[in-house]
Structure 1
Amino acid sequence: MTLAVCYISLFYQRGSVTITSTNQPMVEKARGEKVTLPCTFTVSQEDQGPLDVEWVLIPTDNQKKEQTIIMYSVDRIYNDYYEAMNGRVQFTNPDPRSGDGSINIVNLKSADTGTYQCRVKKAPGVESQKIRLTVLVKPARTKCYIEGSQETGRDLTLKCVSQEGSPLLSYNWRKLTGTKELPATSLLNKDTGELSLKSVSEEYSGTYNCVAANRVGADDCFVVLNVTPPINTAGIIAGAVIGTLLGLSLLAFLVFCCCKNKFYKSLKAPIHAWFKSRTSTARSYIGSNRSSLGSMSPSNMEGYATTPYNQVPSEDLKRSPAAPNLSRMGAVPVMIPAQSKDGSIV
């Protein structure tokens, strides 16, 4: 990891307390790692008071108060002042009286970035120093993708983006297959992670790798470029149109057949009823005639057979004495056939 050094300032000194830590004004570490903030010191025989070692976090806003992180006082360690670091900060040496007041902070978080001050007191001596801690985030969850058509002669862009990572991130592309060299027409932007390719050809096809990096780490991703000849869009459109027309024609035919079938069914019912009623009437007429004929005796049938229906009755039939009177009253004369002794009609 790259370590840069932050500003360490020595404040006032009284007595003979001396901080001997190496001048490291700035420290940079990656998130999740461990950092040691140094603060070693010496005292003299003149410093007879109790030893106090205190670490405070100085806010960037001057309107806010300092926050005590950990403290050693009267032979006791107090490390529960700052809730955000509970369980993550401790003295490097459990007994700071040895002259080592350095602290360790584990599982660093982005919020831990700030200015830390070590204060050593042993009356009458007092001394302090500041260290700037910067917590950086490694690039992570880097994604590669292609923007644009992968047809020959087209322009496209390979893009690379890290979802996490402290600035300033730097991106770099390389080709892993084929010539393993970026095309001559490519243009790389290391700040945005874009690789522009102009008028691509099939030789541009292959696997490309992007690496995103900052001062504390790196992450990468891959993408496969497959350049192909242009697609015959006119043929595809024509085929789609023809297919649509055929589908509509088939649908129209099915609708026609369905409507035709319903029409014939609507005509079939009244026609069937009409034939049924006519058949029933004919059967009843024939049955009644058969019953009438069946009630006649052979002798009756013989009279009907021998006597024509259009024959005018004979005037020799005797009229009833009351006939003239009935005629004057409007009555109509009725001819009654004569019968023989055996009951047959004459």
Structure 2
Amino acid sequence: SHLSHKVEVEEHKDAVLSCIFYTEKDQQPRIEWKKKGKDVSFVFYGPFEGRATIEGATVTLKKVTQEDAGEYRCEISAPKDSVSLGETNVTLKVLVPPQTPLCEIPSSAVTGSVVQLSCRDQHSIPPATYSWYKDNQPMNPPRHANATYLINSRTGVLEFKSVAKEDTGRYSCLASNGVGLPKMCEAKHMTIGVCVCAFPH
């Protein structure tokens, strides 16, 4: 029989992969845990050495990293049993809390121009969502069509359609993904001024 389930664990914590089976007579079934990949690796050698412990049919992987994410298979064989015990497939997903996002905030812009501020954290799993702050106050995503700015919480882009003097202030962005603590980039000041343009006579 084939069973499959998913395990989600935060990076650097321990992952517990369990294998459920019932034997008829054999009290000492042979249990093998393997990681599927380019080449199938047994879970007690190579990168797992000293980090994997087994109790019954349950294996614990200590301090998991992204390298450990993937498909694992538990194979049971009991020579004394007439039934085939099959295998259990476990998908391990390693979650990564947000890192301090990379924020691009222009220091100045001209009144009436289109201005984009961006915020990105490339390492969080699942991907982070972003919220923007101006002078330490959260900027709510606008609800009406004629709003002066737009916020895309998935891409982290804050766009002003036409900046005004009132948009001058300190901007920062918060990345969160439900794993660990949200992280904020350092606030940067953006000044909006009137264009002092020199036109040739």
TM-score range, shorter chain: 0.7 to 0.9
Q: 1:53 aligns with which of 31, 36, 49?
A: 31
User: Is structure 2 residue 59 aligned with structure 1 residue 103?
Assistant: yes
Relative contact order, higher structure (CA 8 A, sep 6+): 2
Paired residue for 2:173? 210
**Could you say what secondary structure the match of 1:32 adopts?**
coil
Contact 2:131 / 2:173 at 8 angstroms: preserved in 1? yes
Q: CA RMSD in A?
A: 3.0
> In terms of mean alpha carbon deviation, does 212-221 or 31-40 score higher?
212-221
- Bigger Rg over Cα: 1
Residues 47/229 of structure 1: CA separation in 2 closer, same or farther (3 Å cut): closer
Distance 2:71 2:192 in 1: 57
1:122 aligns with 2:85: no
Q: Post-superposition, which runs of at least 4 consecutive aligned residues in structure 1 deviate over 4 A? A: 176-183, 231-234
Aligned length: 190
Q: Match for residue 185 of structure 1?
A: 148
More helix by share: 1
Provide the TM-score with structure 1 as the length reference.
0.47
- Change over 3 Å in CA distance of 1:232–1:131 after alignment to 2: same
- Give, in whole Å, the separation in 1 of the partners of 2:136 and 2:111: 19
Mapped partners of 1:188, 1:220: distance in 2: 16
Structure 1 pair 182–116 and aligned structure 2 pair: CA distance change class (3 A): closer
Query: Unaligned 5+ residue runs, structure 2?
Result: none
Report which of the two has the higher share of strand: 2
Question: Corresponding residue for 1:38?
Answer: 18
For residues 152-204 of structure 1, give each alpha carbon's deviation from its aligned partner in whole angstroms, at most 9, with x where no partner exists.
33321111011422464432324354795567311122332111112222322
| Identity among equivalent pairs (%) | 28
Map 1:1-346 onto structure 2 (within 5 A): 10-11=1-2, 25-44=5-24, 46-47=25-26, 50-59=28-37, 61=38, 64=39, 66-69=40-43, 79=44, 82-91=45-54, 93=55, 96=56, 101-125=57-81, 126-127=84-85, 128-147=87-106, 149-166=108-125, 168-177=127-136, 181=140, 184-214=147-177, 216-217=179-180, 218-230=182-194, 232=196, 234=198
Q: In structure 2, the residue corresponding to 1:200 is in which secondary structure? A: coil
Distance 1:201 1:170 in 2: 27
Q: TM-score, normalised by structure 2?
A: 0.76
In structure 1, list runs of 5 or more residues that go unmatched: 1-9, 12-22, 70-78, 235-346
Distance 1:170 1:177, change over 3 A: closer
